[in-house]
Amino acid sequence: MQREETEEERRARRLAKKAAKEARKAETVAGYSNSTNPFNDPNLNEQFVWGKKQTRDGTTEQEARATAKRRRHEVAAELQKVKESREKGEREREAWEAEKRQLDKEREQMAFADNQRREDEFQLQQERSRAGFSLLQKTTPPPP
């Protein structure tokens, strides 16, 4: 049974557990750790720094980190724009499809109303012709 712990102790324990989990996750890259990998690279988990390029360009490590951070933010912003654009396109496509369904429904209702009108006219014409025949033959129409 777990002992009674204060809110701060519980929070600290959970944060420590989370940090340990993240450390284990960071320890492996694509299933490999620094000590055991087929590339024999002791710095597998560290970000690659092209030292000669930095020397040639005359940039410091801090500048390179700042540039990389800025680039990551730019990429994240661009991805966000693409995501918003895609969502906007989906909303427009859904609105277009809803409008198309509504127009199809209205067209179908108009066609049904037209068919109903023609059916009513046909029935009226049939009744008139039956009445005309019964007058010509001098018979009474059957009761409805």
- Identify the segments of the chain with pLDDT beneath 70: 1-2, 26-30, 140-144
> CA-CA distances (angstroms) from residue 56 to 46, 48, 49, 50?
22, 16, 13, 10
pLDDT, residue 97, reads 97
pLDDT, residue 37, reads 78
pLDDT, residue 1, reads 41
Contact call for residues 141 and 131 (beta carbons, < 8 A): yes
Contact call for residues 27 and 33 (beta carbons, < 8 A): yes
Contact call for residues 61 and 54 (beta carbons, < 8 A): yes
Helices (H) and strands (E) in the chain, counts: 3, 0
pLDDT, residue 10, reads 93
Query: Could you give the angle at the alpha carbon of 54 between the alpha carbons of 53 and 60, nearest 5°?
Result: 175
**CB contact burial 9-45 (16+ within 10 A = b; e otherwise):** eeeeeeeeeeeeeeeeeeeeeeeeeeeebeeeeeebe
For 18-70, the DSSP string reads HHHHHHHHHH-BTTB-SSS-TT--TTTTSPP--HHHHHHHT--HHHHHHHHHH
pLDDT by residue (tens digit) across 19-28?
988 877 766 6
